[in-house]
Amino acid sequence: MKLKFFPFPFPFPLFLFVSTIFTLSLTSSAPISTLSPTQNISDGQFIISDDEFFKMGFFTPSNGSKNRYLGIWYNKISVFTVVWVANRETPLNDTSGVLTFNQEGTLTLIDRRNRVIWSSNSSLINNPVANPVAQLLDTGNLVIRTENSFEPDDYLWQSFDYPGNTFLPSMKYGIDFAKGLNKYLVSWKSFDDPSIGEYTNRFDPNGFPQILMRRGSEVEYNSGPWNGLRFSGMPNLKPNNIYTFGFVFNEKELYYKYELVSNSVISRMILSTEGKIQRFIWNERTREWGLYLTGQMDNCDRYGLCGPYGICNINNSPACGCLSGFEPRVPQEWRQADWSNGCVRKTELSCEGGDGFAKLSGVKVPDTRKGWFNVSMSLDECRNECLRNCSCTAYATLDIRQGSGCLIWFDDLVDIRSYVEESGQDIFVRMAASELVDRKAKTKRRVIVILIPVVVSVTVLLGIILVVYRKRKQNKNNGRVVVVRDNNAVNENKNEDLELPLFDFNTIAVATNNFSDDSKLGEGGFGPVYKGILEDGKEIAVKRHSRKSKQGLDEFQNEVKCIAKLQHRNLVKLLGCCIEEEERMLIYEYMPNKSLNSFIFGEGKRKSADWSTRYTIIVGIARGLLYLHQDSRLRIIHRDLKASNILLDKDMNPRISDFGLAKILEGSDAKANTRRVMGTYGYMAPEYTIDGIYSTKSDVFSFGVLVLEIVSGKKNRGFRHANHDLNLLGHAWRLYKSGKQLELIDGTIKDLYVPSEVIRSIHIGLLCVQKYPEDRPDMTLVVLMLGSQIPLPTPKQPGFYTERRRPQEGESSSGNHEWSSSNQLSVTHLQPR
């Protein structure tokens, strides 16, 4: 913006004098949210929204800068966070700036020399109005309106029409065709420089609209088109308890918008200086912004990475491949990992009849800028429309909710990536008839082609195992650690090498003093655990599988399979294994503080278990489970989460251990079932105990039990109370219903705790142990609830909410109990540990 001289009918010193008289009221009275034409704002004065949530005034972005900007920021949080800047490109170099508001309804920022630094220019956009006011709304929107008009459609001007790098709730992000406004994000130049940066993020209305993030003029990221549920390239954009969202596209406007479910949540989206679309949520407990969602997940989100007719799959190496029926345009470039020229058809289309379509499932659909759409067509009509046009290369459903609408491509298909099917959608790619016939024939041949190498591989594998076994028998090598590649059935589903260190039996025997009782740490259903010290002084924990254990080779291999490649600060680290004759041992890093079981239930250590440590443990377990359920390369259900399987490192950080019963859910599976129900009484979810159905929600139930045990210092199984015969879950539920949650807390903690934190933890624990899995939150929401002050839903009655019948006189207390609630159970195939 060029600087302009602002005409005044009187000298500037006189203006300052008059301005000072008017602005005295701003400093001598309560905060105001509106400006009238008789009021101005000088540096050091502010406008504050009615709910005092947002503040507007002058600021300097960093201590090293002398630039002053007029902006809006959050007023109630401890980290200074700017959401809008008026004079991004024309900063003031001192504190002489004044924001004026005239009778025509225009806001103007001037400097000490009467130069116009910034203006809303609203008097040029609208006809002259009577009684204009400028107001900072509770949404963070600065608006100019007439005194008695409060409808958004009647605003003369609003800052939401000119966003900077921040997308706030209630903002319409997109294009107003009627007013000719394009509302988009522009990144800051740097963290402390709000001037125009390299990146823009805006709707492109060509073809079917999509949001394109550009660096300069080059597209770097494409959201994909709206498919009725979300943008095709944003699978993480799902219904949640934090915010609602929607998309509007008609002849008047095109926009995306979100609203927060609760006013207690503070959330914003930004375009970062590095070109990342990020959603943050304020965490009042830690007093920092937590990253909740990122638009770009991985390298496959780079626009057009694999070129025309290429498809990106982040789980493949290399990530880029050609669509079926296509081949690299320049094979030499592909061998050098340059995929930009993409792929070409193996067989050209004839367009004289006979062309068909190959279905591609679970993908982000291609760039739609050169596409065509019709909202009323059916999928069959869409197919016929595509066949009638020789330029049509593919078609898809516009709205995946009902399978309605038609989206057609007339150019090369660019920017396709693969997702799991539940996150992607289907597209039908036009193919030559001969190519479709070849596909069917290849499918039959593929079965034979697969079987032959499998048989050969198994034969070779058995030979390798035999050679390794004989070599190790001849080579019992004085405690040396041998690293081998484990190609056995431990990872048969993925056909990958584990590269797991293989420890020699003698090494472990020496480290544990020949498995002496003095080295023994404890014992579980699998067998004993020993502490060991290797020759280099490294402390280890050795899990030795007993021959009498009900866990056999399957469980041993399962544990290796689940944890060998997992890395997280809240999971125990597997160092290696030992397999020799009938001996099977797992070697873990040693946890000096042993298990959570001894920490919260052991009388000696329990007194040192203050509330801060307990809360840190709860949060750590939640983060570890979230990693297993969602963030790791596998989706793992632990199935045996309990206090004795939570180990504590030297800093009291929790580490989830014992993956012998863990299960991996393949692909998009949300749950599975088994006839062999194994676990621990008191921690198993009702649907798993009764029907053998397990899912991430059954782990959530176990986590909820753990939370209540950590808070109370009491075990769920075997819990006794003088006034009733409820279990721990029932007792916690009873206290919650009567508003006496703090009575649940462990008496050894005394008064050294934060009451609101304890009550919130109990509330979250009860949400996790609700009877029906669909009522329980997932671990993403649990972690968010633990780390923020978002409102919590009301929990329903826990599963296994039971009251035991007390034994009558002469009746053995160890006899069978009858259940007095309606939750009568008939447990079959149950193998408790």
- Give the model's pLDDT for residue 271: 97
Among 111, 486, 640, 699, which one carries the catalytic annotation? 640
Contacts of 733 (CB under 8 A, 6+ apart): 726, 766, 795, 797, 798, 801
pLDDT of residue 472: 55
- What mean pLDDT comes out for the span 70-88? 97
Q: What's the whole-number mean pLDDT along residues 74-92?
A: 96
Would you say 61 and 192 are in contact if contact means Cβ atoms under 8 Å apart? yes
User: Do 504 and 480 touch, CB atoms closer than 8 A?
Assistant: yes
Which of residues 565 and 245 earns the better pLDDT score?
Answer: 245
pLDDT tier at 251, thresholds 50, 70, 90: very high
- Cα–Cα distance measured from residue 242 to residue 247, given in angstroms and rounded to the nearest whole number: 17
Give the pTM. 0.62
Percent of the chain with pLDDT over 70: 82
Render the burial of 797-821: b for 16+ CB within 10 Å, e for the rest: bbbbbbebeeeeeeeeeeeeeeeee
Whole-number pLDDT of residue 669? 57
Residue 125 scores a pLDDT above 70: no
In angstroms, the CA 703 to CA 773 distance is: 13
* Topology of domain 1-162, CATH: Agglutinin, subunit A (2.90.10)
pLDDT, the chain, mean: 83
Residue 815 pLDDT exceeds 60: no
Exposure string (b/e) for 555-591, b if CB count within 10 Å is 16 or more? bbbbbbbbbbbbebebbbebbbbbbbeeebbbbbebb
Mean pLDDT, rounded, for 244-250: 96
CA nearest 299: which of 220, 406, 213, 363? 220
**What is the residue extent of each domain of the chain?**
1-162, 300-431, 481-589, 596-832
Please list the alpha-helical segments (H only) found in 512-610: 553-563, 596-601, 603-606
Q: What is the mean pLDDT of residues 753-781?
A: 93
The span from the first CA to the last CA of the chain, in angstroms, equals 73
Q: Which alpha helices (DSSP H) does 542-595 contain, by range?
A: 553-563
Rounded-to-integer distance, Cα 358 and Cα 394, Å: 9
- Which tens digits make up the pLDDT trace of 101-123? 998 899 999 999 999 999 998 65
Map residue 46 onto helix, strand or coil.
coil
Q: What pLDDT does 540 receive?
A: 94
Give, as one character, the DSSP assignment of residue 627.
Answer: I
CA distance 228 to 339: 31
pLDDT of residue 314: 87
Alpha-carbon gap, residue 284 to 259, rounded angstroms: 20
DSSP state of 390: T
Q: Which of 6, 37, 26 is nearest to 105 (CA)?
A: 37
Give the residue carrying structure tokens 């009509």.
Answer: 381
Q: Residue 670 — very low, low, confident or very high, per pLDDT cuts 50/70/90?
A: low
Least confident span in 420-429, 444-453, 716-725: 444-453
DSSP per residue over 123-147, as a string?
HHHS---SSEEEEE-TTS-EEEEET
Instruction: Specify whether 640 is catalytic.
Output: yes
- For residue 342, pLDDT over 90 is answered with yes
Report residue 647's pLDDT band, with 50, 70 and 90 as the boundaries. very high
With 0-12 / 13-18 / 19 or more C-beta atoms within 10 angstroms meaning exposed / middle / buried, residue 414 is buried
Answer yes or no: is pLDDT of 23 > 50: no
DSSP codes joined into one string, 193-206: EEEEEEEEEEEE-S
Residues 262-291, mean pLDDT to the nearest whole number: 92
Mean pLDDT of 323-348: 94
Structural contact between residues 360 and 426, judged by C-beta atoms closer than 8 angstroms: yes
**Which architecture characterizes domain 481-589 according to CATH?**
2-Layer Sandwich (3.30)
CA–CA dist 306, 320 (Å, integer): 5
Which pLDDT score, from 0 to 100, does residue 323 have?
96
pLDDT at 353: 72
- Per-residue pLDDT tens over the stretch 206-228: 999 999 999 999 999 999 999 99
Report residue 553's pLDDT band, with 50, 70 and 90 as the boundaries: low
* Per-residue confidence (pLDDT) for residue 549, from 0 to 100: 56
- Topology of domain 596-832, per CATH? Transferase(Phosphotransferase); domain 1 (1.10.510)
